[in-house]
Amino acid sequence: MNIAVIGSGMAGLATARILKDAGHNITIFEALPGRGMDSHSIAFEGGLIDAPLRVMNQQLWKNTLSLATHLGIKTFPVRTFMACSWLFEDKTETWLTTSRTRIGNFPIINNRKGIKQYGWRLVKGMLQLKTAIHQFFKSKNQDITLAEFINNNEIEEVFWHGVVMNVLYTICTCDPKTMGEWPAKPLLVFLKQLTDGDALLRLQGGTPALVDKLIEGIELHSSSKITLVEEQGDQVLVKNIEGESFLFDKVVVATPTTKLEEFLNPEQFAEDIALLKQFRFEDGELVMHTDPTVMPPNRKDWSVLSYMMDRQFTKQQFTVWLNSIEPSLVGKTPVFQTWRPVTAIDPKKVIASVKLTRAVVDLKTVALNKEIQERHKAANRKVFYCGSWSCDGLPILESAVTSAMHIAEIFGAPLPFKDLKPKVEVAPELGY
């Protein structure tokens, strides 16, 4: 069949790759210049700023890593040390730094101040969390929100709000109140994997290397915003902003659902639009820069992840130190990514600032996802939807790939990459 894929984020590219390999003719339309998935990646001093930077747990990103392995992309392990600092006082005070054991990869407190002032509280909180997670997965009622999980369990405040919520914030990239509305289960699965010591992996060559493989041999129309999708008999008409028209047998829409009203025929797709517009998204600013004030004051305390917060845990920001996790940046000027900065960053040191959109998950989206998957099964269905928003769980690359796999099943396309183990090579020398 001739199939159009609208959107070249992870879901669109994975769908295109799977269907192309199954023998279909695929055309991708992308509104942005270049490829959507790596549109924010930047060359810097001969190295790569991968925006956003992506590291993956082998269990939680199982399908993503399997697909990358199938495409011939190798990985290397990374150790995500962290530092936590108090903000909005006379001076910024780093109260916790961590490292991981070389055997087992378990997190440990790495600084005397952290051990002396908060050591017992952090250990107590860790034990309380492990117990609470264990009891949760033994319980019959797992359909609760993260806020309900917190309220149902006594967990040391400094550990939960000073450490755990920061880690979840890194993954979910939405405000704490919104995170409280998320289903607890996928977040607790994520935390369980982290506390069990599973190593994180990074793709060699970063996101651009993955995109190169995903689009190999596939026609991609960049700067080609879609203005109309309309069924015409046995085919689907697709028009773009340049006035070009195309006819396809099937169309896969892989964009945020907030975009659908811009191009779906409002009469033909009224029910789909009404359902899909109920999904929620949050935007946030990611700043790439060389301003070290987002890091701990003492250079020896710098870690891959720098979390800064006030003592009431009402304001927080996190920063990734890219040189410590991207081999091509080792030895270069220290460069950082800060998500939703609450401290001032020197404008002269800003390399780029981009807006990123992330789906918001709540208990309602679980039911919505089930309904859209049922609609996909209708006979003679011609238009399908996928994205990181269209799966239960965290709206990350893994959900995007999983949603592509759901589309593949509808089309009867094989999934030769399923359950492949990633090819892990020796970690390069990084700048910790």
Q: Going residue by residue through the chain (432 aa), what tens digit of pLDDT does each one get?
A: 999 999 999 999 999 999 999 999 999 999 999 898 988 899 999 999 998 888 888 888 899 999 999 999 999 988 778 899 988 677 788 888 876 555 555 556 666 766 777 778 888 988 899 899 999 999 988 889 899 999 999 999 888 888 888 878 777 666 777 778 888 888 888 787 766 656 689 999 999 999 999 999 999 999 999 999 999 999 999 999 999 999 999 999 999 998 999 999 999 999 999 999 999 888 889 999 999 999 999 998 898 999 998 888 888 889 999 999 899 999 999 999 999 898 999 999 999 999 988 888 877 887 888 899 999 999 899 999 999 988 766 768 899 999 999 999 999 999 999 888 888 887 666 654
Instruction: Please check whether the two domains, 2-37+206-279+363-411 and 56-203+281-359, share a CATH topology.
Output: no
Q: What is the CATH number of domain 2-37+206-279+363-411?
A: 3.50.50.60
For the CA atoms of 339, 101, 160, 176, the dihedral, rounded to the nearest 10 degrees, stands at 20
Cα torsion angle, 126, 128, 129, 130, sign: positive
Q: What is the CATH number of domain 56-203+281-359?
A: 3.90.660
Alpha helices by DSSP H, 153-269: 157-159, 165-172, 176-180, 184-195, 206-214
Q: Which of 293, 322, 298 is nearest to 308 (CA)?
A: 293
SS3 content of the chain, % helix, strand, coil (to 5): 35, 25, 40
Question: Does residue 86 contact residue 95 with C-beta atoms inside 8 Å?
Answer: yes
Name, in order, each residue with C-beta under 8 angstroms of 34's C-beta and a sequence gap of 6 or more: 222
Residue 75's pLDDT is 94
Residue 432's pLDDT is 44
Q: Is 354 exposed, middle or buried (0-12, 13-18, 19+ CB in 10 A)?
A: middle
Q: Which of 155, 236, 239 is nearest to 191 (CA)?
A: 155
Q: Domain ranges for the chain, please list them.
A: 2-37+206-279+363-411, 56-203+281-359
Residue 105's pLDDT is 52
Residue 140's pLDDT is 87
Q: How far apart are CA 9 and CA 30, in angstroms?
A: 9
Q: How far apart are CA 38 and CA 35, in angstroms?
A: 6
Q: Which residues pair with 56 in a beta bridge?
A: 201
Pairing of β 250-253 and β 56-57: unpaired
